[in-house]
Structure 1
Amino acid sequence: MSDWKHRVSDSFHWKKLLQYFFQGLIIIAPLGITIYAVWWLFTTVDNILPNIIHSLFPQLLGTDGEGELKRIPGLGFIVAILIVLFVGRVSSSFVMSRLVDLLDGLLERTPGIKFIYKSVKDFLEAFTGNKRKFDKPVLANVDGADIWRLGFITQESAANFQMAEYSVVYIPLSYALTGVMYFVPKEKIKILDHISSAEAMKFAVSGGVSEVD
């Protein structure tokens, strides 16, 4: 009898330990991944400027005792942010906007380069700026009669594909940075006016775990 109680007690302790482990994991994992992502982004951007300066002017920065480039932590990151802000500011002027349009047209017509340039540009504009695409959350019926997917209308009409009665809907995949594009009949789309695009994206990517306010 005592052996049985002892085994039950050991099993109870292991279950408790396992419970504590997963509770700790739930707290630490998101925090650790977030800190690592921010650190990686900061380090990557911070290293861009010194590497460019070293490539153009090898003797300007110099090296330390271990042969590494001399750096001021954070300086490259700050300069990169200032450059982006400066470009954004001057691009609104008439002269600079014309130059940007000229360069934009040139890159979009250059074989090989245009594919990379246009893909990156369209991807960024889908999230920011005046041409945002992921700003219309919807429910799309793309699988079965009573099965709906959460997505975003990227084109109101697919008339360019001779499907004027269809809309183009992007469906993000849970726990991934990818998604699937569908041509969906307009009558099989429900507009979600009461949910912001950010909340809808968070809900979809989290697999429905995040709550919608």
Structure 2
Amino acid sequence: MSSLRRRLLVGLHWRRLLQYFLQGLVVIAPIGITAYAVYFLFNSVDTILPDLTNKLFPNLMGVDENGLPRRIPGLGFVVVIVIVMLIGRISSSFFVGKLVDVVDTILEKTPGIKFIYSSVKDFFEAFAGNKKKFDKPVLVNVDADDVWRIGFITQEDASHFDLMEHVTVYVPHSYAISGITYFVPKTRVKSLHINSAEAMKFVVSGGVTHLE
């Protein structure tokens, strides 16, 4: 076997091994990252109740052999989820809703606190709740005439910026949590008749996700 042919076979062998490695990475990485994210979230929420109970009632649960608050795995997670759901249910009632509005108004007018509170509140309301903002996916033309981006209308009226025939459109970036806000003429926006979650997933994935 000639030296050149031997080198070609060795190169082909290594390229095939590299291809197997990358293919395995494609399979393992999403599963591993998802599993770690779920584990981290579960573990973080699950420790809230034992830590809080230990601070309020030091002798109630006791401690383990390492001196840490004793806990039943999964119990804290379930209790926290139930409490959040109960708060959501109670806040839907008229009187509690009014009370929440009063507290909301106070926090939004408190110097120093209002910036943090309003920013966090607006972020969560953009994705969930009765006032979620990213529920109107559109195609928006902000570059060349025949180039379109996927975005979400967040404000139908931009008149407070002296832009009478414009709408506010948020355009998310791919593989990131950032994005850009545009004021766009209504004539350069087209409605998308797809689920907003599917539209967001399509953008964040760089367009590789299949739309259902």
2:126 alignment counterpart: 126
Q: Secondary structure at the match of 2:138?
A: strand
CA distance in 2, matches of 1:59, 1:188: 64
Q: 1:15 is aligned with what amino acid?
A: R
Displacement of 1:191 after TM fit? 1.1
| One-letter identity of the residue aligned with 2:189 | I
- Residue 176 of structure 1 aligns with which residue? 176
Report the aligned-residue RMSD.
1.3
Counterpart of 2:2 in structure 1 is: 2
Counterpart residue identity of residue 77, structure 1: F
1:31 Cα deviation after fit? 0.5
Partner of 1:75: 75
The code of the aligned residue for 2:49 comes to L
CA deviation digits over 1:88-133, x for unaligned, max 9?
1111222212221111111111111111111111111111122121
Counterpart AA for 1:139: L
Unaligned runs of 5+ in 2: none
| Corresponding residue number in structure 2 for 1:204 | 203
* Separation in structure 1 between the aligned mates of residue 65 and residue 48 of structure 2, nearest angstrom: 21
Distance 1:17 1:60 in 2: 57
Q: What TM-score comes out, normalization by structure 2 length?
A: 0.95
Percent identity of equivalent pairs: 60
Query: How far did residue 207 of structure 1 move?
Result: 0.7
Residue 27 of structure 1 is matched in structure 2 by 27
Range with greater deviation from structure 2 (130-139 or 94-103): 94-103
Query: For residue 56 of structure 2, what is the aligned residue in structure 1?
Result: 56
- Pairs aligned (count): 212
Shift of the alpha carbon at 1:53?
A: 1.9
Task: Return the alpha-carbon distance in structure 2 between the equivalents of residues 85 and 154 of structure 1.
Answer: 27
Give the secondary structure class of the aligned counterpart of 1:70: coil
Structure 2 residue aligned with 1:145: 145
Counterpart in the other structure of 1:66: 66
Amino acid at match of 2:205: S
Q: How does 1:66-105 map to 2 (within 5 A)?
A: 66-105=66-105
Aligned-pair distance for 1:11?
0.8
Name the CA distance, whole Å, in 2 between partners of 1:57 and 1:161: 53
Give the structure-1-normalised TM-score: 0.95
Judge which range, 178-187 or 56-65, deviates more: 56-65
Q: Structure 2: which amino acid aligns with 1:17? A: L
